[in-house]
Chains A and B, each alone.
Chain A
Amino acid sequence: RKEVEQDPGPFNVPEGATVAFNCTYSNSASQSFFWYRQDCRKEPKLLMSVYSSGNEDGRFTAQLNRASQYISLLIRDSKLSDSATYLCVVNKASGYSTLTFGKGTMLLVSP
Protein backbone atom coordinates (compact mmCIF):
# COMPACT_ATOMS: atom_id res chain seq x y z
CA ARG A 1 0.00 0.00 0.00
CA LYS A 2 1.38 3.41 -0.94
CA GLU A 3 2.06 5.84 1.90
CA VAL A 4 -0.52 8.32 0.68
CA GLU A 5 -2.94 7.41 -2.08
CA GLN A 6 -5.45 9.69 -3.74
CA ASP A 7 -8.21 9.36 -6.29
CA PRO A 8 -6.80 9.60 -9.81
CA GLY A 9 -8.03 12.64 -11.70
CA PRO A 10 -8.91 14.86 -13.27
CA PHE A 11 -12.34 15.68 -11.90
CA ASN A 12 -14.34 17.81 -14.31
CA VAL A 13 -17.31 19.54 -12.68
CA PRO A 14 -19.59 22.48 -13.53
CA GLU A 15 -19.68 25.60 -11.42
CA GLY A 16 -21.86 25.15 -8.38
CA ALA A 17 -21.27 21.42 -8.11
CA THR A 18 -20.18 19.59 -4.98
CA VAL A 19 -17.04 17.51 -5.34
CA ALA A 20 -15.35 15.11 -2.93
CA PHE A 21 -11.74 13.99 -2.84
CA ASN A 22 -10.66 10.87 -1.02
CA CYS A 23 -7.30 9.85 0.35
CA THR A 24 -5.94 6.84 2.23
CA TYR A 25 -2.68 6.58 4.17
CA SER A 26 -0.70 3.53 5.24
CA ASN A 27 1.09 4.61 8.45
CA SER A 28 -1.27 4.14 11.39
CA ALA A 29 1.14 6.14 13.57
CA SER A 30 0.61 9.33 11.54
CA GLN A 31 -0.75 12.14 13.67
CA SER A 32 -1.12 15.14 11.41
CA PHE A 33 -3.07 15.51 8.21
CA PHE A 34 -3.50 18.30 5.73
CA TRP A 35 -4.91 19.29 2.38
CA TYR A 36 -2.72 21.47 0.18
CA ARG A 37 -3.71 23.20 -3.02
CA GLN A 38 -1.35 23.58 -5.96
CA ASP A 39 -2.13 25.80 -8.94
CA CYS A 40 -0.56 25.03 -12.30
CA ARG A 41 3.19 25.73 -12.26
CA LYS A 42 3.01 27.16 -8.74
CA GLU A 43 4.08 26.02 -5.30
CA PRO A 44 1.77 24.04 -3.00
CA LYS A 45 -0.09 26.09 -0.41
CA LEU A 46 -1.78 24.90 2.74
CA LEU A 47 -5.54 24.73 2.28
CA MET A 48 -6.53 23.30 5.65
CA SER A 49 -5.52 20.97 8.42
CA VAL A 50 -7.65 17.91 9.08
CA TYR A 51 -8.79 17.11 12.59
CA SER A 52 -10.36 13.98 14.02
CA SER A 53 -13.56 15.84 14.78
CA GLY A 54 -13.79 17.13 11.23
CA ASN A 55 -13.44 20.76 10.33
CA GLU A 56 -15.00 23.26 8.00
CA ASP A 57 -13.71 26.42 6.39
CA GLY A 58 -16.36 28.14 4.31
CA ARG A 59 -17.19 25.87 1.37
CA PHE A 60 -14.52 23.35 2.33
CA THR A 61 -15.01 20.46 4.75
CA ALA A 62 -12.30 18.02 5.75
CA GLN A 63 -12.84 14.76 7.59
CA LEU A 64 -10.57 12.11 9.07
CA ASN A 65 -11.35 8.48 9.86
CA ARG A 66 -8.40 7.09 11.81
CA ALA A 67 -9.82 3.57 12.00
CA SER A 68 -10.02 3.36 8.21
CA GLN A 69 -6.95 5.56 7.66
CA TYR A 70 -9.02 7.70 5.36
CA ILE A 71 -9.16 11.46 4.76
CA SER A 72 -11.65 13.39 2.69
CA LEU A 73 -12.14 16.89 1.35
CA LEU A 74 -15.54 18.17 0.26
CA ILE A 75 -15.92 21.33 -1.79
CA ARG A 76 -19.43 22.77 -2.05
CA ASP A 77 -20.64 25.27 -4.62
CA SER A 78 -17.52 24.95 -6.78
CA LYS A 79 -16.06 28.12 -8.27
CA LEU A 80 -13.92 28.50 -11.38
CA SER A 81 -11.13 29.61 -9.04
CA ASP A 82 -11.20 26.22 -7.29
CA SER A 83 -9.57 24.66 -10.36
CA ALA A 84 -6.25 23.32 -9.09
CA THR A 85 -4.59 20.13 -7.92
CA TYR A 86 -5.43 19.06 -4.37
CA LEU A 87 -2.73 17.26 -2.43
CA CYS A 88 -3.41 14.99 0.52
CA VAL A 89 -0.55 15.27 3.03
CA VAL A 90 0.35 13.14 6.05
CA ASN A 91 3.21 13.39 8.51
CA LYS A 92 5.68 10.52 8.40
CA ALA A 93 5.67 9.97 12.16
CA SER A 94 9.09 8.37 12.48
CA GLY A 95 12.06 10.22 13.87
CA TYR A 96 11.83 13.86 12.93
CA SER A 97 8.48 14.69 11.43
CA THR A 98 8.41 15.19 7.71
CA LEU A 99 5.42 15.38 5.43
CA THR A 100 4.54 12.84 2.77
CA PHE A 101 2.52 14.17 -0.15
CA GLY A 102 0.03 12.29 -2.26
CA LYS A 103 0.30 12.65 -6.01
CA GLY A 104 -2.68 14.95 -6.06
CA THR A 105 -6.04 15.07 -7.76
CA MET A 106 -6.69 17.70 -10.39
CA LEU A 107 -9.99 19.58 -10.30
CA LEU A 108 -11.29 21.43 -13.33
CA VAL A 109 -14.36 23.59 -12.77
CA SER A 110 -16.07 24.73 -15.93
CA PRO A 111 -18.65 27.52 -16.53
Chain B
Amino acid sequence: NAGVTQTPKFRVLKTGQSMTLLCAQDMNHEYMYWYRQDPGMGLRLIHYSVGEGTTAKGEVPDGYNVSRLKKQNFLLGLESAAPSQTSVYFCASSVTGLGYTFGSGTRLTVV
Protein backbone atom coordinates (compact mmCIF):
# COMPACT_ATOMS: atom_id res chain seq x y z
CA ASN B 1 0.00 0.00 0.00
CA ALA B 2 1.96 3.00 -1.32
CA GLY B 3 -0.32 5.77 0.00
CA VAL B 4 0.70 9.07 -1.60
CA THR B 5 3.62 9.02 -4.01
CA GLN B 6 5.33 12.13 -5.33
CA THR B 7 7.69 12.27 -8.28
CA PRO B 8 10.33 13.47 -8.67
CA LYS B 9 11.87 13.68 -5.19
CA PHE B 10 14.49 16.25 -6.20
CA ARG B 11 14.84 18.61 -9.13
CA VAL B 12 16.99 21.54 -10.13
CA LEU B 13 15.53 23.91 -12.72
CA LYS B 14 16.89 26.93 -14.48
CA THR B 15 14.87 30.14 -14.36
CA GLY B 16 12.23 30.08 -17.07
CA GLN B 17 12.08 26.32 -17.47
CA SER B 18 8.86 24.43 -16.97
CA MET B 19 8.13 21.20 -15.16
CA THR B 20 5.31 19.08 -13.77
CA LEU B 21 5.20 17.48 -10.36
CA LEU B 22 3.15 14.33 -10.12
CA CYS B 23 1.17 13.17 -7.13
CA ALA B 24 -0.47 9.76 -7.13
CA GLN B 25 -2.61 8.19 -4.41
CA ASP B 26 -3.98 4.68 -4.23
CA MET B 27 -6.46 5.18 -1.37
CA ASN B 28 -9.42 6.29 -3.52
CA HIS B 29 -9.43 9.69 -1.78
CA GLU B 30 -11.63 12.44 -3.22
CA TYR B 31 -9.62 15.39 -1.92
CA MET B 32 -6.08 16.21 -2.99
CA TYR B 33 -3.85 19.18 -2.19
CA TRP B 34 -0.57 20.82 -3.08
CA TYR B 35 1.34 22.72 -0.38
CA ARG B 36 4.70 24.40 -0.37
CA GLN B 37 6.88 24.67 2.69
CA ASP B 38 9.50 27.36 3.14
CA PRO B 39 11.68 28.13 6.17
CA GLY B 40 9.85 30.43 8.55
CA MET B 41 6.66 30.31 6.48
CA GLY B 42 5.14 26.96 7.33
CA LEU B 43 2.97 25.01 4.92
CA ARG B 44 0.99 27.11 2.50
CA LEU B 45 -1.79 25.79 0.26
CA ILE B 46 -1.19 26.28 -3.48
CA HIS B 47 -4.14 24.52 -5.12
CA TYR B 48 -6.52 21.77 -4.18
CA SER B 49 -9.12 19.48 -5.71
CA VAL B 50 -12.32 18.10 -4.23
CA GLY B 51 -12.82 15.49 -6.94
CA GLU B 52 -11.89 14.31 -10.39
CA GLY B 53 -12.06 17.14 -12.89
CA THR B 54 -12.21 19.91 -10.26
CA THR B 55 -9.52 22.27 -9.01
CA ALA B 56 -9.47 25.38 -6.84
CA LYS B 57 -6.98 28.03 -5.79
CA GLY B 58 -5.42 28.06 -2.40
CA GLU B 59 -3.45 30.71 -0.56
CA VAL B 60 -0.49 31.04 -2.98
CA PRO B 61 -1.62 29.93 -6.48
CA ASP B 62 0.28 32.43 -8.65
CA GLY B 63 2.80 30.85 -11.00
CA TYR B 64 1.28 27.37 -10.69
CA ASN B 65 -1.35 25.39 -12.55
CA VAL B 66 -2.93 22.07 -11.65
CA SER B 67 -4.95 19.32 -13.23
CA ARG B 68 -6.96 16.40 -11.87
CA LEU B 69 -7.90 14.36 -14.93
CA LYS B 70 -7.95 11.10 -12.97
CA LYS B 71 -9.09 10.66 -9.40
CA GLN B 72 -5.81 9.14 -8.30
CA ASN B 73 -3.52 11.79 -9.83
CA PHE B 74 -3.01 15.48 -9.09
CA LEU B 75 -0.45 17.33 -11.21
CA LEU B 76 1.24 20.60 -10.31
CA GLY B 77 2.78 22.57 -13.16
CA LEU B 78 5.27 25.40 -13.17
CA GLU B 79 5.10 27.12 -16.56
CA SER B 80 8.09 29.43 -16.13
CA ALA B 81 10.06 28.67 -12.99
CA ALA B 82 11.37 31.51 -10.83
CA PRO B 83 13.88 31.42 -7.96
CA SER B 84 11.01 32.35 -5.59
CA GLN B 85 9.54 28.92 -6.35
CA THR B 86 12.49 27.17 -4.73
CA SER B 87 10.77 25.20 -2.01
CA VAL B 88 9.71 21.80 -0.74
CA TYR B 89 6.41 20.77 -2.28
CA PHE B 90 4.09 18.38 -0.49
CA CYS B 91 1.07 16.67 -1.92
CA ALA B 92 -1.66 15.36 0.37
CA SER B 93 -4.93 13.51 0.02
CA SER B 94 -7.91 12.87 2.26
CA VAL B 95 -11.29 11.22 2.32
CA THR B 96 -13.24 13.86 4.19
CA GLY B 97 -11.13 16.96 3.68
CA LEU B 98 -9.71 16.70 7.17
CA GLY B 99 -7.28 13.85 7.96
CA TYR B 100 -4.50 14.34 5.44
CA THR B 101 -1.99 11.76 4.23
CA PHE B 102 1.10 13.45 2.84
CA GLY B 103 3.58 12.36 0.25
CA SER B 104 7.28 12.47 1.05
CA GLY B 105 7.82 15.75 -0.77
CA THR B 106 9.66 17.16 -3.78
CA ARG B 107 12.65 19.41 -3.18
CA LEU B 108 12.81 21.93 -6.00
CA THR B 109 15.62 24.39 -6.56
CA VAL B 110 15.34 27.07 -9.22
CA VAL B 111 18.64 28.69 -10.18
Contact = CB atoms under 8 A, between A and B. Distances in A.
Contacts of B56: 96
Given A32-B98, A103-B42, A98 B58 contact: yes
A52 interface: no
A87 interface: yes
A46 B40 contact: no
A102 B105 contact: no
A87 B50 contact: no
B100 A99 contact: yes
B22 interface: no
A1 interface: no
Contact of A97 (B90, B97, B105): B97
Q: Is the interface of B mostly helix, strand, loop or mixed?
A: loop
Interface residues of B, number: 22
B50 A103 contact: no
Contacts of B103: 43
Contacts of A100: 45
A96 B48 contact: yes
Interface string B53-67: 000101000000000
Given A98-B33, A98-B58, A44 B48 contact: no
Contacts of A42: 104-105
A22 interface: no
A45 interface: yes
A87 B100 CA distance: 13
Interface in A69-111: 87, 91, 96-104
Nearest to B43: A101
A47 to B, nearest CB: 12
Nearest to B45: A98
Interface of B: 31, 33, 35, 40-43, 45, 48, 50, 56, 58, 90, 96-100, 102-105
Given A44-B43, A49-B99, 18 more contacts: A34-B99, A43-B90, A43-B102, A43-B105, A45-B102, A46-B99, A91-B98, A96-B50, A96-B56, A97-B97, A97-B98, A98-B48, A98-B58, A99-B45, A101-B42, A103-B41, A103-B42, A104-B42
